[in-house]
Structure 1
Amino acid sequence: MTSEPGPPILAEDLLLLLFRPSSGPDGTAVVAGAQTLPYVLAGAVLTDLSIGEHVRTVPGWSGSTRVEAVTERPPADDLLRSTWDHLAARPRGVQATLAVIGPALRTPLVERLVARNDLRRSTRAASGTPSVELLTDDGSGRRAGLLRGVRDVLAGVAQPESRLAALTALLSGSGTLPQFHPEIPWTAAARARARHLEQGNWGADAAAEAVARSFAATMVSNVIFAAAVLRKQ
């Protein structure tokens, strides 16, 4: 964690949205899709790296796809840099990369959200029990803004910019979007738009596949192609 976080990365925005304020006991926030969270956050990191042209895909054995770091373009953000360093050693399979980087992401991302005053950390203990860490919405308004952006995308209000479209697709692929109803109306039109984003190589299909395979560590290589599509738009 850095003492003065830079601009939020895509995985921070995704995690902030997945924390549902007032959905847990005593008004605390709980995270939606917690069991698949590592894979979805990892997909967001790879998508961010690809949008910034820090990584690219290369052919692997038997038609597979690997990811390699673009040597001359290391990212400035330390979390993104950690994944970039992992890929700089040698090209790696997408699924293997997600399985390695995903489990370590939640804690530093939460620290960033607390440092930005997007989440508030507190502790609570009952008699005879250990203290429990609680996370609640700190009222910064950033989550509300992101939520409004995703709602507008799914309502077809406007053509989304790249990061917001990727964020919406990752939420959809994680299988959590129906849990946001009625904040984000889960209508037939919204489902169709969400699926369209997933099929547009935003990387969300990979998250959906992780859910379908009993939370297995798998994401298809489309997670990387999102930025290539965006850069041509």
Structure 2
Amino acid sequence: MAGRAQAGSDGMRAETLIVEDLLLLLLDDETGTPAAAGTLYYTLGGAVLVELALSGRVEAEGGSRLSGPEVRVAGDGPLSDPLLQAAYDRIAEKPRRVQPLILDIGSGLWEQLVERLVERGLIRREKKRVLGLFKVTQLPADDTGHEAEVRRGVKAVLEEGAEPDARTAALIGLLSGSGALPMLRPPLAWSGAVHRRAKELEEGSWGASAVGTAVTRTAAAIAASSAAVAVSVATTVT
């Protein structure tokens, strides 16, 4: 089940966030390269919004075709996690549409999340040389027990038809919205039924749906840019 506690090096146990579980699933266990890296910021930002929504600390209303519903804060009092508190404080400044908001929140999360996962002992940093010349940093899995538990929950819902809890449903919706679900390693037993189930969970969460919309737009923008470059090159050549 998503979000279960993990033991740290000091023996203390702490609850993982949805965005941390999501990143663990996205990261290749051998290299630490994330699936669907091109739209990662949208996915991470969406995961934080979903967590705040499940906690009753943000709500969405209205909507537009271009940028989705407007997100505003709800409830009061401090949040238990500084990462969530920072996102909450940003939204509290003024209500904003979900599409630009998920990018705003997600664009600064990669480094924070990597540091948190390293500190928890879930991944590690490895310095390597490519072709004996170029130094690279990889982020392979260190302790895979928690990730395996999260993955079992995802597989039970998608492959076996189990009823998901809210966190697992959110994880699957975000993975579906990001387009990363069929790219996970090790892979799921991909099928039409798995795809449909994942889409149902994606469409049941405005945060996950926003990620899906952002990913679609990003892909369209990349395609349009690539087409423009191809036309430019062809024109120059001829």
Note the alpha carbon deviations across 1:47-98, whole angstroms, 9 max, x for none. Answer: 0001001112244799963212225143221111111011112212212211
Within the candidate set 124, 134, 138, 1:134 is matched to 138
The residue matched to 2:23 in structure 1 has which SS?
helix
Change in CA separation of 1:197 and 1:191 when aligned onto 2, cut-off 3 Å: same
- CA separation in 2, counterparts of 1:155 and 1:64? 31
Within the candidate set 163, 170, 192, 2:167 is matched to 163
- CA separation in 2, counterparts of 1:74 and 1:21? 34
- CA separation in 2, counterparts of 1:124 and 1:37? 24
The residue matched to 2:189 in structure 1 has which SS?
coil
2:59–2:74 Cα contact (<8 Å) kept: yes
Note the alpha carbon deviations across 1:153-201, whole angstroms, 9 max, x for none. Answer: 1023421100011101111111111123763100111111111112223
Structure 2 residue aligned with 1:112? 116
1:85 and 2:89 matched = yes
2:173–2:198 Cα contact (<8 Å) kept: yes
Structure 1 residue aligned with 2:152? 148
The residue matched to 2:79 in structure 1 has which SS?
coil
Structure 1 residue aligned with 2:196? 192
RMSD: 2.7
Within the candidate set 15, 20, 24, 1:12 is matched to 20
Partner amino acid for 2:203? Q
Within the candidate set 65, 69, 77, 1:65 is matched to 69
- Give, in angstroms, the shift of residue 133 of structure 1: 1.1
- CA separation in 1, counterparts of 2:121 and 2:111? 16
Change in CA separation of 1:89 and 1:115 when aligned onto 2, cut-off 3 Å: same
Within the candidate set 197, 208, 226, 1:204 is matched to 208
- CA separation in 1, counterparts of 2:200 and 2:130? 47
1:36 and 2:44 matched = no
1:75 and 2:95 matched = no
2:68–2:98 Cα contact (<8 Å) kept: no
Change in CA separation of 1:198 and 1:59 when aligned onto 2, cut-off 3 Å: closer
2:173–2:205 Cα contact (<8 Å) kept: no
Quote the sequence identity (%).
41
Which structure 1 residue ranges, 5 or more long, are not aligned? 23-27, 218-233
**What number of residue pairs does the alignment pair up?**
210
Note the alpha carbon deviations across 1:92-119, whole angstroms, 9 max, x for none. Answer: 2212211211110111011111111110
- CA separation in 2, counterparts of 1:89 and 1:210? 23
- CA separation in 2, counterparts of 1:64 and 1:41? 17
Partner amino acid for 2:140? T
Change in CA separation of 1:127 and 1:95 when aligned onto 2, cut-off 3 Å: closer
2:58–2:71 Cα contact (<8 Å) kept: yes
- CA separation in 2, counterparts of 1:125 and 1:181? 24
Larger radius of gyration: 2
